[in-house]
Structure 1
Amino acid sequence: MISKTTIDQVYETARLEEVIGDFVQLKKSGSNFKGLSPFTDERTPSFMVSPVKQIWKDFSSGKGGNVVAFLMEHEHFTYPEAIKYLAKKYNIEVEETEQSNEEKEQANELESMYLVSEYASSYFQDILWKTELGKAIGLSYFKERGFTEDIIQKFGLGYCLDQWDGFTMDALDKGYQLDYLEKTGLTIVKEDSNNPNSPKKFDRFKGRVMFPIHSLSGRVLGFGGRILTNDKKAAKYLNSPESEIYHKSKVLYGIYYAKQAIAKEDNCYLVEGYTDVIQFYQRGIHNVVSSSGTALTPEQIRLVNRLTKNITVLFDGDAAGLRASLRGIDLILEQGMNVRICTFPEGEDPDSFAKNNELEDVEQYLKDNSKDFIRFKASLLVKEASDDPIKRADTVRDIVNSISKIPDRIKKEIYVQECAQIMNISEGVLFSTLAQIGKRDQADAIKKEKQEQKAFDVVRSEPVGEKVDVQYELERKIIESLLLYGNRKEEFEDLVLKENESGDLVLEPESLEIKVYEKVYLDLQEDEIELANPTFRDVYYKLIAALNENEDFKVSDFIAVLEQELGNEVSSILMEEERYSLHNWERKDIYPKEKGSVIAQLVSETILTLRCFLIKKRMQALQNETEDAKEDKDNKEILEEIMNYLQLNKLLNQKLNRVLS
């Protein structure tokens, strides 16, 4: 267990915007930050971070909370893992008590797989640096590739001995379970017909140099292994198989080391292999990642899209099937990203070019030779088509197909104009082809529109708009007031119900200086009002207790001790108004009244409105009771109660300056 002292220090030190900034590109928006949701596929930013409140809210998925909640949602950390991650980031020493055997057994399956992968990474590194075979074979290979010892250690490169079960037996001796070794793909298990109770176990990466593959937060998800022998039957590169923690389509090699540089440079270089990434990084270009030899996927693109809108794809000078590779880039265009292409001189690849040239030369080459994707593709395919009419026709369709993927209509038109010049063809023909290619999408859109119109025809007689749950909104406003102003002392004009000389009930004002949370609690207690929404009710009682116990109440501390569901709800309440707030009014000499300047009025009106609502609700129930009653039943008492409620409702609405019909 992690000590409370460590947890408190982590919460005090960690800055939400810094932590989330490692995963999402954030841009200033008034006093807050905005970015694309890391949980859904969106093009308009709806993810908000409040440095002042130290909370975040993702309006597209509904998730929200504090810094720990973000790591638990995004990285699927447990609470202790999130605390440890933050402690490591901010160089905080973790005080931890010894875990019992029972607590160790309670670790979930995912965590067990992560632990096995972390151990494997350490094991392969130890073999590389501390054994004679590791140094002679693995370390020598990496040094021959031009990697320095510092860079080898930084990327956690290692070596798996050329033995059938060296790693597996060592892991089993250390207490790691065979089940998790198999699930992570580190060990291959096969049944032994001669001994069914003792299956055969083999190291998957036997005799390979190892490249650990990290998540965005730095956890080891899987491995890539390169064979060093000339065995034609064995694959040159071998990756970990798909598992609960490793999904190839959702991971980019090097993203953990590149994320900050990508956001800073506002550009990401995409290469093909592990060594391309490492060589570029060693040369001084850190905003580089690799798809690890697999076809680029939408999930991988979205991973980059969170950090930057710009991506530059680097191809070998003699890359075979360049045209086929270009088709995969259409996926990037679909995400609304800006794509550039850079090819290296014949015989060179990113690895060799970075190795053989100085940083300034590499940077200059990338700057001079990176071309816009559409222009690059048009020039390349036109050159290939030459004077062959059929090839030229195919080329037109291919290029326009790429243009059709771009969601921005203005960009589409500009590219059509440029491509018309490059291909020496009229813009009309290209626009016509663009329309033909998009015909299927348009048909789908029309079909969808008809379905929506049909649904509208069915329900158009119904009132437009969703009915507002008044009680829900009022209870939500009470929670918001407590969160924002609960500990502030304000002067309230309280209403006391008194009988005047004529015997009528009237409300007489009395001034009272009291804290907001005390005012809310006393008013609700006096009327025996309990919040109807179970979530609000739970948050309300916890809030009142926290405000009563802590003179220096902080929202961030309060969220830290809430269950995840309640923390999410609190974040939603606090960030809802921030989502639509406008800033810099003063520049136009407009000075709106701040909500904080009328707290007493806001709180009083909210409670009064809730009381009026509940009174009307009670009167309706009483009215229904009289209508349902038998004719011989005396309804006199019920009618008197209704009249009393009507009188009280009239008085409360007078205080709210409302006119009743």
Structure 2
Amino acid sequence: MIAKTTIDQVYETARLEEVIGDFVQLKKSGSNFKGLSPFTDERSPSFMVSPVKQIWKDFSSGKGGNVVAFLMEHEHFTYPEAIKYLAKKYHIEVEETEQSNEQKEQASERESMYLVSEFARDHFSEMLLETELGKAIGLSYFKERGFTEETIKKFELGYCLDQWDGFTKAALDQGYKLDYLSKTGLTIVKEDANNPNNPRTFDRFKGRVMFPIHSLSGRVLGFGGRILTNDKKAAKYLNSPESDIYHKSKVLYGIYYAKQAIAKEDNCYLVEGYTDVIQFHQRGIHNVVSSSGTALTPEQIRLINRLTKNITVLFDGDAAGLRASLRGIDLILEQGMNVKICTFPEGEDPDSFAKNNELEEVQSYLQENSKDFIQFKASLLVQEASNDPIKRADTVRDIVNSISKIPDRIKKEIYVQECAQIMNISEAVLFNTLAQIGKKDIAEAKKQEKQEGKAFDVVRNEALQEKVDVQFELERKIIELLLVYGSKTEEFEDLVLKENEEGELVMEPESVQSTVYEKIFLDLQEDEIEFTNAQFKSIYYLLIEALSQTEDFAIQAFITGIEQEMANHISSILMEEERYSLDNWESKDIYPKSKEKGVAQLVSETILTLRCFLIKKRMLSLQNETQDMHEDNKEVLEEIMNYIQLNKLLNQKLNRVLS
């Protein structure tokens, strides 16, 4: 268990915008920050962060909460893991009691897999740095590559001894279960038909130097292992298999070490291998990641897209199948990103070039030789086409097809103009080709829409029939008022129902000083109004209790002590008004109304509106009753008339005209 003093210190110290800024590129938007959702695939930002309220809201997925909730949602941390991560980031010492074996066993399956992976990282590092075999084989290999001991420790590089089950035995001896060793792929388990209770086990990475693969937050997801012998039957590089914590297509090697530099430099260098990343980092260029030898995927591109819109792809000077590698460029363009390409001199790759040149030379080379994708692709394909007119036509079509992937119409036009100059072909022809590709895509989309047409019509009709739930909106507004102004003291004008000299009922104002939460609580109690939404009802009573017991009520502290689902609802309520800044209405000469009214007036109007709504609801109910009666019921009719008069008085106070 983590001590409460540690948890309190973490919440007091952690800055939401700093923590989220490690994972998402945030841009200032008024008093808030906005960025692309890290939970959905989107091109327009709908992710909002409020430094004042210390809460975030993702309007595309509906998720929201405080700093810990973000880490739990994004990194799949448990609550203690999120607290420990923040403590480490802000250099806070964690006080906790030792976990018992029973508590370890109760850890979730995913957490158990993380723990096994972290043990493996530490074990491989120990074998590399502290055993004779590790030093002689693994460490000497890394030093031959030019890696310093500081770099080796930073990237947590290691070595798996060339033994059949040396690592597996060490893990089992430390109490880690074979089931999780198998699920993470660290151990290969072979069932023995003759002895089913005692399966044979093998270390997957035996005799390999190890590269731990980290998540954005630095957790070990899996490993890459390089063999050091000339065994032609064995793969040179071997990666962990897919598991609950490691999905190759969604991970980039080095992203944990590069994320801050990528956001700061507003550019990401994309290379092919582990050593390319490490060598660049050691040389002083930190905004570099690798797809680890796999084909680039949309998920990996979106991971970069959260941090920057600019990617520079670095290719080896003599890279085999360079044209095949260019397919990844189209994927980057589809995501609306800007892409450049840089190749190294023949015989060089990013690793060797960074190793053999000083920082200034590497930076200068990258700056001078990074070409826009259209220039690079055109020059490469033109060389291949030579003087063959058919190949030349295919080349043009290939380039236009890439341009068609770009979502931005202005960029498309500029690239068409550039392509026309390079290929010495008229812009009109290129625009026609682009239009044909567009028509084909539209036709395919329409075909798919027809297939889904019936289902779509049902959804559309249901959407048209949807009506605003007035009581839901009013209850939501009351929760917002309690959260934002609950402890504030205001001068309220109470309305007292009195009879004037003519015997008519009138509302007479009386001034009273009260806190917002007391005013709301007493008014709702007086009218015996209950919340109809179960979630709002629970939040309401928790808020009233917290406000009555705490003098310095703070939203962040309140969110910390409640369930995640409730915290999600609260962040939605508080951040609803931020939708205005997402749409940037001011640029369209539309100015949303701000909360200029006094708090007292806002509270009074909300409660009065709720009263009017409930009175109207009651009148309708009574009218339905009278319709079902066979004879007139004077009592019911009198009640209806009283409600009509009361409703009229309340609406006059709200300056509303009743039809």
Residue of structure 2 equivalent to 1:14: 14
Give the secondary-structure state (helix, strand or coil) at the position aligned to 1:496. Answer: strand
Counterpart Cα distance in 2 of 1:416 and 1:312 = 21
Residue of structure 2 equivalent to 1:645: 643
Counterpart Cα distance in 1 of 2:144 and 2:471 = 71
- Measured at CA, do residues 591 and 418 of structure 1 come closer, stay the same or move farther in structure 2, by a change above 3 Å? closer
Give the secondary-structure state (helix, strand or coil) at the position aligned to 2:180. Answer: helix
Give a deviation string over 1:238-296, Cα, whole Å, max 9, x none: 00000000000000000000000000000000000000000000000000000000000
Counterpart Cα distance in 1 of 2:78 and 2:103 = 14
Residue of structure 2 equivalent to 1:106: 106
Moved more, 101-110 or 294-303: 101-110
Counterpart Cα distance in 2 of 1:344 and 1:410 = 31
Residue of structure 1 equivalent to 2:653: 655
Give a deviation string over 1:553-587, Cα, whole Å, max 9, x none: 01111111121111011111111112204999999
Residue of structure 1 equivalent to 2:162: 162
- Measured at CA, do residues 419 and 583 of structure 1 come closer, stay the same or move farther in structure 2, by a change above 3 Å? closer
Task: Report the CA distance between 1:101 and its aligned residue.
Answer: 3.6
Give the secondary-structure state (helix, strand or coil) at the position aligned to 1:595. Answer: coil
1:64-75 alignment to 2 at 5 Å?
64-75=64-75
Letter paired with 2:648: K
Give the secondary-structure state (helix, strand or coil) at the position aligned to 2:162. Answer: coil
Task: Report the CA distance between 1:194 and its aligned residue.
Answer: 2.8
Letter paired with 2:651: N
- Structure 2 residue 488 is the aligned partner of structure 1 residue 488: yes
Letter paired with 1:131: T
- Measured at CA, do residues 480 and 454 of structure 1 come closer, stay the same or move farther in structure 2, by a change above 3 Å? same
Counterpart Cα distance in 1 of 2:592 and 2:510 = 29
Task: Report the CA distance between 1:628 and its aligned residue.
Answer: 1.9
Residue of structure 2 equivalent to 1:115: 115
Give a deviation string over 1:590-619, Cα, whole Å, max 9, x none: 999862651000000000000000011011
Runs of 4+ in 1 over 6 A off after TM superposition: 448-463, 582-587, 590-593
Residue of structure 1 equivalent to 2:47: 47
Letter paired with 1:637: E
Task: Report the CA distance between 1:439 and its aligned residue.
Answer: 3.1
Residue of structure 2 equivalent to 1:626: 626
Task: Report the CA distance between 1:335 and its aligned residue.
Answer: 0.1
Counterpart Cα distance in 1 of 2:125 and 2:462 = 68
Task: Report the CA distance between 1:359 and its aligned residue.
Answer: 0.1
Letter paired with 2:227: I
Counterpart Cα distance in 2 of 1:61 and 1:355 = 44
Any conservation in 1 of the 2:580–2:592 contact (CA below 8 Å)?
A: no
Question: Under a length normalisation based on structure 1, what TM-score does the superposition of the two structures give?
Answer: 0.96
- Measured at CA, do residues 355 and 461 of structure 1 come closer, stay the same or move farther in structure 2, by a change above 3 Å? closer
Any conservation in 2 of the 1:474–1:606 contact (CA below 8 Å)?
A: yes
Counterpart Cα distance in 2 of 1:182 and 1:582 = 46
The structure 2 residue matched to 1:636, chosen from 627, 634, 637, is 634
Residue of structure 2 equivalent to 1:187: 187
Residue of structure 1 equivalent to 2:261: 261
Any conservation in 2 of the 1:30–1:583 contact (CA below 8 Å)?
A: no
Counterpart Cα distance in 2 of 1:101 and 1:455 = 53
Letter paired with 1:19: V
Task: Report the CA distance between 1:432 and its aligned residue.
Answer: 2.2
1:530-545 alignment to 2 at 5 Å?
530-545=530-545
- Measured at CA, do residues 383 and 137 of structure 1 come closer, stay the same or move farther in structure 2, by a change above 3 Å? same
Counterpart Cα distance in 1 of 2:459 and 2:302 = 37
1:428-507 alignment to 2 at 5 Å?
428-447=428-447, 466-507=466-507
Give the secondary-structure state (helix, strand or coil) at the position aligned to 2:38. Answer: coil
- Measured at CA, do residues 173 and 459 of structure 1 come closer, stay the same or move farther in structure 2, by a change above 3 Å? closer
Any conservation in 2 of the 1:214–1:256 contact (CA below 8 Å)?
A: yes
Question: Under a length normalisation based on structure 2, what TM-score does the superposition of the two structures give?
Answer: 0.96
Task: Report the CA distance between 1:401 and its aligned residue.
Answer: 1.1
Task: Report the CA distance between 1:389 and its aligned residue.
Answer: 1.3
Counterpart Cα distance in 1 of 2:375 and 2:21 = 33
Counterpart Cα distance in 1 of 2:464 and 2:322 = 54
- Measured at CA, do residues 405 and 579 of structure 1 come closer, stay the same or move farther in structure 2, by a change above 3 Å? same
Give the secondary-structure state (helix, strand or coil) at the position aligned to 2:83. Answer: helix
Counterpart Cα distance in 1 of 2:532 and 2:463 = 26
Residue of structure 2 equivalent to 1:241: 241
Letter paired with 1:217: S
Letter paired with 2:185: G
Give the secondary-structure state (helix, strand or coil) at the position aligned to 2:326. Answer: helix
- Measured at CA, do residues 464 and 200 of structure 1 come closer, stay the same or move farther in structure 2, by a change above 3 Å? closer
In the alignment of these two chains, the number of paired residues is 659
Any conservation in 2 of the 1:268–1:287 contact (CA below 8 Å)?
A: yes
- Structure 2 residue 328 is the aligned partner of structure 1 residue 323: no
Task: Report the CA distance between 1:651 and its aligned residue.
Answer: 1.3
Any conservation in 1 of the 2:208–2:226 contact (CA below 8 Å)?
A: yes
- Structure 2 residue 210 is the aligned partner of structure 1 residue 210: yes
Any conservation in 1 of the 2:15–2:51 contact (CA below 8 Å)?
A: yes
Unaligned runs of 5+ in 2: none
Counterpart Cα distance in 2 of 1:246 and 1:393 = 43
Counterpart Cα distance in 2 of 1:390 and 1:277 = 40
Pairwise CA RMSD: 2.3
Letter paired with 2:38: P
- Measured at CA, do residues 624 and 267 of structure 1 come closer, stay the same or move farther in structure 2, by a change above 3 Å? same
- Measured at CA, do residues 234 and 464 of structure 1 come closer, stay the same or move farther in structure 2, by a change above 3 Å? closer
Give the secondary-structure state (helix, strand or coil) at the position aligned to 2:57. Answer: strand
Moved more, 316-325 or 410-419: 410-419
Counterpart Cα distance in 2 of 1:398 and 1:591 = 46
Residue of structure 2 equivalent to 1:410: 410
Counterpart Cα distance in 1 of 2:398 and 2:563 = 53
Task: Report the CA distance between 1:26 and its aligned residue.
Answer: 0.2
Any conservation in 2 of the 1:485–1:516 contact (CA below 8 Å)?
A: yes
- Measured at CA, do residues 490 and 437 of structure 1 come closer, stay the same or move farther in structure 2, by a change above 3 Å? same
Residue of structure 2 equivalent to 1:290: 290
Moved more, 251-260 or 457-466: 457-466
Any conservation in 1 of the 2:277–2:288 contact (CA below 8 Å)?
A: yes
- Measured at CA, do residues 59 and 650 of structure 1 come closer, stay the same or move farther in structure 2, by a change above 3 Å? same
Letter paired with 1:647: Q
Percent identity between the aligned chains? 84
1:523-534 alignment to 2 at 5 Å?
523-534=523-534
Give the secondary-structure state (helix, strand or coil) at the position aligned to 1:329. Answer: helix
Residue of structure 2 equivalent to 1:303: 303
Moved more, 424-433 or 254-263: 424-433
Moved more, 233-242 or 455-464: 455-464
Residue of structure 1 equivalent to 2:558: 558
Counterpart Cα distance in 2 of 1:300 and 1:581 = 29
Residue of structure 1 equivalent to 2:314: 314
Give the secondary-structure state (helix, strand or coil) at the position aligned to 2:368. Answer: helix
Give a deviation string over 1:42-68, Cα, whole Å, max 9, x none: 000010000000000000000000000
Letter paired with 2:224: G
Any conservation in 2 of the 1:494–1:509 contact (CA below 8 Å)?
A: yes
Letter paired with 2:46: S
Any conservation in 2 of the 1:524–1:530 contact (CA below 8 Å)?
A: yes
Any conservation in 1 of the 2:279–2:355 contact (CA below 8 Å)?
A: yes
Counterpart Cα distance in 1 of 2:585 and 2:249 = 45
Counterpart Cα distance in 2 of 1:272 and 1:125 = 24
Letter paired with 1:197: N
- Measured at CA, do residues 292 and 453 of structure 1 come closer, stay the same or move farther in structure 2, by a change above 3 Å? closer
Residue of structure 2 equivalent to 1:387: 387
Letter paired with 1:268: C
- Measured at CA, do residues 46 and 591 of structure 1 come closer, stay the same or move farther in structure 2, by a change above 3 Å? closer
Residue of structure 1 equivalent to 2:5: 5
Unaligned runs of 5+ in 1: none
Counterpart Cα distance in 2 of 1:531 and 1:389 = 75
Task: Report the CA distance between 1:103 and its aligned residue.
Answer: 2.5
Counterpart Cα distance in 2 of 1:185 and 1:104 = 21
